[in-house]
């Protein structure tokens, strides 16, 4: 059991060394130095980059600054996806640090949601938690909680407080003793090569005969191309929090231990590096 | 104090054509339909949440402000991956079940989607023509 709790901590404290560079066409009064930061995998870009914004605003004229947005190799980064998901999906097998370009102009209205305040991030985060509980418990656990419990989940994330967060989140990870797991598993599968942003379907963690479904069972059911070997070789990696869990892992265990704070399993299918 | 010509010109609202796009999606998580929409001016400039909000009829605004779960937020369209505005779906079951129970008592035929869309659509400018309600029983699907 100690091992399982360690997984929770390892997931929470995962970091990605990142180098932020100002977009060259932004108008500055002096040269902008790059800014280095360790980003928490489990958080959101707009929640943890106040220092980045301040750093670049120092060399810019006030009128040149509007809503900040981030881009990696030409792709606008969706702030509403957790940072670890963005990295795994777009840059998992590239050299560190992760190089992100910072913009203050020409907000890509067709690609990115606006994020005018921390309230927007909180609303999005809580909406994900509620949807996850709708799947796991028909919303019973989240609806029984008081407003202050909801607030504690958000404050735990915002202030990087593992114990504060899990004091409440553990209730969202419980299930009735007569069941073997949640009603449905909250998950999303992402693949950068498809037009569709993600796949999300209803999936039960336990089969009718009582056997626990595995990660492999989930993929076979909703995304078979991810694991069917072409020419006997596995061309893709199935990645969660930067690692490839064994396909035999019970999906119920993955949901309890490797979900993001929003209670979803965000799974990336990425090309396997050929070296 | 009478208005002079320049003030009158300022008071008249500039008329702009807005193009609304509505998508009806199904949420498997909440097991209800969800209305996604976006709007832009003819030059392609998208409306902001503020501008959308201003176009919501005054009688609905008070109701929307009451509960955070009935509000309009910007979300990623789950199939297109682009920003849309959405009416939050978690209250849908509540108001739909009270309507459905009522109509069942009268043994009236009910088309769930028309019932639902005629309730939420007008809030965001989508008004269903009455002809939708006049569909005969043989053209309706009963909800169960």
Give the 3-state DSSP-derived string for A183-232, with helices as H, strands as E and coil as C: CCCCEEEEECCCCCCCECCCCCCECCCCCECEHHHHHHHHCHHHCCCECC
Q: Is residue A113 part of a domain?
A: no
Residue where one domain finishes, among candidates A173, A197, A217: A173
> Which chain B residue shows the shortest CA-CA distance from A198?
B78
> Which chain A residue shows the shortest CA-CA distance from B82?
A111
**Least confident piece of the model among A121-135, A195-209, B46-60, B89-103:** B89-103
Enclosing domain of residue A140 = 118-173
Question: Of A75, A111, A114, A127, which to mutate for an interface test with B (greatest number of B Cβ within 10 Å)?
Answer: A127
Question: Of B83, B88, B91, which to mutate for an interface test with A (greatest number of A Cβ within 10 Å)?
Answer: B83
Can you give the CATH number for the domain in which A20 is found? 3.10.20.620
Q: Are residues A50 and A99 in the same domain?
A: yes
Q: Is residue A111 part of a domain?
A: no
Q: Which residues of B touch A (CB under 8 A)?
A: 28-30, 46, 48-49, 68, 73-76, 78-83, 88, 90
Q: Are residues A29 and A97 in the same domain?
A: yes
Q: What is the pLDDT of residue B5?
A: 44
Report the DSSP beta bridge partners of residue A188. Answer: A266
Q: Are residues A208 and A266 in the same domain?
A: yes
- Is A147 at the interface with chain B, CB within 8 A? no
Q: Is residue A4 part of a domain?
A: no
Residue where one domain finishes, among candidates A77, A103, A129: A103
Q: Is residue A108 part of a domain?
A: no
For the segment B10-38, the average pLDDT, to the nearest whole number, is 82
**Least confident piece of the model among A154-158, A197-201, B24-28, B51-55:** B51-55
Q: Are residues A134 and A192 in the same domain?
A: no
Contact A167, A155 (CB under 8 A): no
CB-based contact B90 A130, cutoff 8 Å: yes
Q: Is residue A8 part of a domain?
A: no
Q: Are residues A81 and A125 in the same domain?
A: no
B46 neighbourhood in chain A, CB within 8 Å: 109-110
Q: Is residue A112 part of a domain?
A: no
Q: What is the pLDDT of residue A138?
A: 95
Distance from CA of A131 to the nearest CA of B (A): 6
- Is A131 at the interface with chain B, CB within 8 A? yes
Question: Taking the model in full, what pTM does it have?
Answer: 0.88
Give the pLDDT band (50/70/90) at residue B66.
Answer: low
CB-based contact A196 B81, cutoff 8 Å: yes
Beta strands in chain A (DSSP E): 15-22, 35-40, 69-72, 75-76, 98-103, 187-191, 236-239, 265-271
Q: What is the pLDDT of residue B59?
A: 73
Q: Say if residue B94's pLDDT is above 90.
A: no
**Least confident piece of the model among B9-13, B18-22, B52-56:** B9-13
For the segment B72-100, the average pLDDT, to the nearest whole number, is 84
Q: What is the dihedral of CA A29, A31, A112, A201, to 10 degrees?
A: -160
Q: How many domains does chain A divide into? A: 3
Q: Are residues A244 and A218 in the same domain?
A: yes
CB-based contact A80 B78, cutoff 8 Å: no
CB-based contact A196 B83, cutoff 8 Å: no
Average pLDDT, chain B: 75
Q: Are residues A88 and A32 in the same domain?
A: yes
Q: What is the pLDDT of residue B90?
A: 63
Q: Say if residue B107's pLDDT is above 80.
A: no
Per-residue pLDDT of chain A (275 residues; tens, 9 = 90+): 558 889 999 999 999 999 999 999 988 889 999 999 999 999 999 999 999 999 999 999 887 788 999 999 999 999 999 999 999 999 999 999 999 999 999 999 999 999 999 999 999 999 999 999 999 999 999 999 999 999 999 999 999 999 999 999 999 999 999 999 999 999 999 998 888 999 999 999 999 988 999 999 999 999 988 877 655 678 899 999 999 999 999 999 999 999 999 999 999 999 998 87
| Range ranked top by mean pLDDT from A106-110, B61-65, B129-133 | A106-110
Q: Is residue A3 part of a domain?
A: no
Contact A131, B29 (CB under 8 A): yes
Q: Is residue A10 part of a domain?
A: no
Region of A258 (left: φ > 0; alpha: ψ -120 to 50; beta: rest) is alpha
Can you give the CATH number for the domain in which A151 is found? 1.10.246.190
Q: Are residues A161 and A191 in the same domain?
A: no
Q: Say if residue B88's pLDDT is above 50.
A: yes
A114 neighbourhood in chain B, CB within 8 Å: 48-49, 74, 83
For the segment B37-54, the average pLDDT, to the nearest whole number, is 86
The strands making up B18-27's β-sheet, listed across from edge to edge, are B18-27, B32-41, B83-87, B72-76
Q: Are residues A47 and A20 in the same domain?
A: yes
Q: Are residues A130 and A196 in the same domain?
A: no
Q: Are residues A97 and A131 in the same domain?
A: no
- Is A110 at the interface with chain B, CB within 8 A? yes
Would you say the ipTM is above 0.85?
Answer: yes
Q: Are residues A167 and A192 in the same domain?
A: no
Distance from CA of A202 to the nearest CA of B (A): 7
């Amino acid at each position: 059991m100690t091992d399982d709790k360690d997984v929770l901590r390892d997931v929470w404290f995962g970091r990605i060394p990142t180098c932020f560079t100002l977009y060259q066409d932004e108008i500055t009064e002096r040269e902008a130095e790059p800014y280095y930061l360790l980003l928490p995998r489990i958080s959101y870009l707009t929640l943890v980059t106040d220092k980045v914004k301040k750093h670049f605003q120092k060399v810019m004229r006030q009128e040149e600054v509007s809503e900040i947005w981030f881009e990696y190799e030409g792709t606008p980064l969706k702030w509403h996806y957790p940072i670890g998901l963005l990295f795994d999906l777009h840059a998992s097998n590239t050299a560190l640090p992760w190089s992100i370009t910072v913009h203050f102009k020409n907000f890509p209205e067709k690609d990115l949601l606006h994020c005018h305040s921390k309230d927007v991030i909180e609303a999005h985060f809580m909406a994900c938690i509620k949807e996850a509980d709708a799947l796991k418990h028909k919303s019973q656990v989240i609806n029984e909680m008081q407003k202050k419990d909801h607030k504690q989940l958000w404050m735990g994330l915002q202030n990087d407080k593992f114990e504060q967060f899990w004091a409440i989140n553990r209730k969202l990870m419980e299930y009735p003793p007569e069941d073997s797991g949640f009603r449905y598993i909250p998950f999303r599968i992402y693949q950068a090569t498809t037009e569709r942003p993600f796949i999300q379907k209803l999936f039960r963690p336990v089969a009718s005969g009582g056997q626990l479904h595995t990660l492999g069972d989930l993929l076979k059911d909703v995304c078979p191309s991810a694991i069917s070997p072409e020419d006997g070789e596995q061309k893709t990696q199935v990645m969660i929090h930067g690692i490839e869990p064994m396909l035999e892992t019970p999906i119920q265990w993955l949901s309890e231990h490797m979900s993001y704070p929003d209670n979803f399993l965000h799974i990336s299918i990425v090309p396997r590096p050929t070296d | 104090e009478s208005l002079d010509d320049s003030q009158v010109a300022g008071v008249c609202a500039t008329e702009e054509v807005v193009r609304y796009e509505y998508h009806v999606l199904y949420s498997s998580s909440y097991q209800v339909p969800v209305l996604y929409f976006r709007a832009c001016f003819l030059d392609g400039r998208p409306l902001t949440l503020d501008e959308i909000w201003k176009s919501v009829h005054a009688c609905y605004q008070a109701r929307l402000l009451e509960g955070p779960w009935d509000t309009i937020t910007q979300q990623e369209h789950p199939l297109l991956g682009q920003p849309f505005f959405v009416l939050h779906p978690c209250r849908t079951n509540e108001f739909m079940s009270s309507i459905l129970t009522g109509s069942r008592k009268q043994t009236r035929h009910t088309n769930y989607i028309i019932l639902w869309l005629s309730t939420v659509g007008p809030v965001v400018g989508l008004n269903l023509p009455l002809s939708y309600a006049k569909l005969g029983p043989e053209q309706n699907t009963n909800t169960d």
